[in-house]
């Protein structure tokens, strides 16, 4: 069981933050962040690289001091009671630091001793972890023989050996193949459902946030710009999206569509146009006619409902992966701008 906590969570919250900020030289990495995460909740922190997700997690894990603001984790102040916080959290961060010469068993036993656990307790915890985390028969092998997915799962097991109250997962599936990612998702669900563990999960994967999180916080340039359940966030945008894959000039195509009744905005991303509208079924026909009339060839039109990517685009003006090396420049034109 988790360590006994002689102080109840502040205001009944597992994680709380008020005005949390962190500045590096002239760079404001996190700007006045407020958080309120309930016990037993999976909270998804969604944003692109450089948005401030990892900096926030490092502050909440007591690895980085805030420039200003306050935060409590498991009822303890992250600055004044840092040691108490560390005893009650587990963290699997982006930088996996595993000794390749150790076996998985050796690593987990050492981690348990760091938390003052006796050998018999460590044995019991390790048996439980083999059913919670897919680490299988590899525990007795040296870590330098592990795949990337196996290393991530071992890192997760090490974060759980002391049965923490709060678990921080910083982009736990980055770089994993789809099968390994699905296994990690299932393990996260199991930890939450069977142990009631509070989990703060940072991710840049829309599907991951939508699949796992009870609530999602969208962070951009160090600020929390929206928060709610995935469905609540989608309802904030609440529109259909017509996708047009064109083989012509995107500017000409956009100009051909701006005056169509019911079109709210047009986002151009390379040779793909995303047309936002309240009634996609009614709008898709006029879009096809307008493109054809303008002499714009298109490979196809498709209609879909709002996604978390659409929410992010609406709130920030850029797609979630706009900072990726191979990303296209994305421009968003509202009908008021065009007219």
User: Over the stretch 57-108, which tens digit does the pLDDT of each residue have?
Assistant: 999 999 999 999 999 999 999 999 999 999 999 999 877 778 899 999 999 9
Q: Looking at the domain assignment, is residue 14 inside a domain?
A: yes
Based on the fold, state whether residues 183 and 313 are members of the same structural domain: no
DSSP letter assigned to residue 221: T
Which burial class, exposed, middle or buried, applies to 78 when counting CB atoms under 10 A from its CB (0-12, 13-18, 19+)?
buried
Closest CA to 203 of 186, 188, 216: 216
CA distances from 270 to 116, 254, 329 (A): 56, 12, 7
pLDDT above 70 covers a percentage of the chain that reads 89
pLDDT of residue 329: 32
pLDDT of residue 320: 58
Based on the fold, state whether residues 153 and 241 are members of the same structural domain: no
Beta-carbon contacts of residue 14 (< 8 Å; ≥ 6 apart): 37, 38, 39, 40, 41, 73, 74, 165, 166, 198
Give pLDDT tens digits for 14-37: 999 999 999 999 899 999 999 999
Beta-carbon contacts of residue 274 (< 8 Å; ≥ 6 apart): 241, 242, 243, 244, 266, 267, 310, 313
Structure tokens at 242: 């017509």
Output the CA torsion 106→57→203→135 (10° steps).
10
d(CA 207, CA 184) in angstroms, rounded, equals 13
Strand order across the 76-77 sheet: 27-37, 15-24, 68-73, 76-77
Based on the fold, state whether residues 99 and 172 are members of the same structural domain: yes
Closest CA to 240 of 285, 300, 281: 281
Instruction: Say yes or no to pLDDT of 197 above 70.
Output: yes
pLDDT of residue 333: 40
Which pLDDT band holds residue 52 (cuts at 50, 70, 90)? very high
Q: Looking at the domain assignment, is residue 245 inside a domain?
A: yes
Residues spanned by the domain of 128: 10-228
Which burial class, exposed, middle or buried, applies to 44 when counting CB atoms under 10 A from its CB (0-12, 13-18, 19+)?
buried
Specify the number of domains making up the chain: 2
Q: Looking at the domain assignment, is residue 45 inside a domain?
A: yes
Based on the fold, state whether residues 275 and 193 are members of the same structural domain: no
CA distances from 292 to 46, 257, 287 (A): 38, 11, 9
Closest CA to 313 of 46, 31, 103: 46
Which pLDDT band holds residue 48 (cuts at 50, 70, 90)? confident
* 38 touches 74 (CB < 8 A): no
d(CA 193, CA 117) in angstroms, rounded, equals 25
Based on the fold, state whether residues 83 and 157 are members of the same structural domain: yes
Based on the fold, state whether residues 240 and 285 are members of the same structural domain: yes
- CATH number of the domain residue 179 falls in: 3.40.50.300
d(CA 120, CA 170) in angstroms, rounded, equals 30
Based on the fold, state whether residues 217 and 252 are members of the same structural domain: no
Based on the fold, state whether residues 58 and 191 are members of the same structural domain: yes
Closest CA to 112 of 168, 158, 62, 165: 158
SS3 content of the chain, % helix, strand, coil (to 5): 40, 30, 35
pLDDT of residue 79: 97
d(CA 150, CA 176) in angstroms, rounded, equals 10
Beta-carbon contacts of residue 57 (< 8 Å; ≥ 6 apart): 45, 91, 93, 168, 170, 200, 202
Continuous H helices in 39-177: 53-60, 82-87, 104-114, 119-132, 148-160
Do strands 166-170 and 198-203 pair parallel, antiparallel, or not at all (unpaired)?
parallel
Based on the fold, state whether residues 269 and 180 are members of the same structural domain: no
* 291 touches 298 (CB < 8 A): yes
Based on the fold, state whether residues 203 and 326 are members of the same structural domain: no
Give pLDDT tens digits for 274-294: 898 888 889 999 999 999 999
Give pLDDT tens digits for 138-196: 899 999 999 888 888 899 999 999 999 999 999 888 878 888 888 889 989 999 998 89
């Amino acid at each position: 069981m988790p360590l006994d906590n002689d102080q109840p969570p502040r205001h009944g919250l597992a994680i709380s933050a008020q005005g949390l900020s962190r500045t590096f030289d002239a760079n404001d990495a996190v700007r006045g962040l407020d958080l309120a995460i309930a016990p037993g909740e999976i909270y998804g922190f969604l944003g692109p690289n450089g948005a401030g997700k990892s900096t926030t997690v490092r502050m909440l894990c007591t690895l980085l001091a805030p420039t200003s603001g306050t935060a409590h984790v498991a009822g303890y102040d992250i600055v004044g009671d840092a040691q108490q916080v560390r005893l009650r959290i587990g963290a699997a961060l982006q930088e996996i630091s595993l000794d390749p010469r150790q076996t998985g068993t050796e690593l987990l036993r050492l981690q348990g001793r760091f938390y003052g656990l006796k050998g018999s307790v460590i044995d019991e915890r390790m048996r439980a972890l083999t059913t919670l985390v897919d680490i299988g028969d590899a525990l007795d092998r040296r870590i330098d023989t592990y795949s990337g997915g196996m290393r991530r799962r071992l890192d997760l097991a090490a974060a759980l050996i002391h049965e923490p109250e709060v678990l921080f997962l910083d982009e736990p599936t980055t770089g994993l193949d789809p099968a390994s990612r699905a296994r990690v998702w299932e393990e996260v669900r199991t930890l939450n459902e069977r142990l009631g563990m509070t989990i703060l999960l940072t991710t840049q994967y829309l599907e991951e946030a939508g699949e796992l999180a009870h609530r999602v916080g969208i962070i951009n340039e160090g600020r929390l710009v929206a928060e709610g359940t995935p469905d609540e966030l989608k309802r904030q945008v609440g529109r259909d999206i017509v996708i047009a894959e064109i083989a012509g000039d995107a500017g000409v195509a956009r100009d051909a569509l701006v005056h169509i009744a019911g079109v709210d905005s047009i986002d151009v991303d390379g040779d793909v146009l995303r047309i936002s509208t309240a009634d996609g079924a009614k709008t898709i026909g006029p879009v096809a006619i307008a493109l054809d009339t303008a002499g714009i060839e298109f490979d196809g039109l498709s209609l879909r409902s709002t996604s978390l990517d659409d929410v992010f685009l609406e709130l920030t003006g850029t797609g979630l992966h706009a900072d990726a090396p191979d990303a296209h420049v994305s421009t968003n034109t509202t009908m008021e701008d065009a007219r």
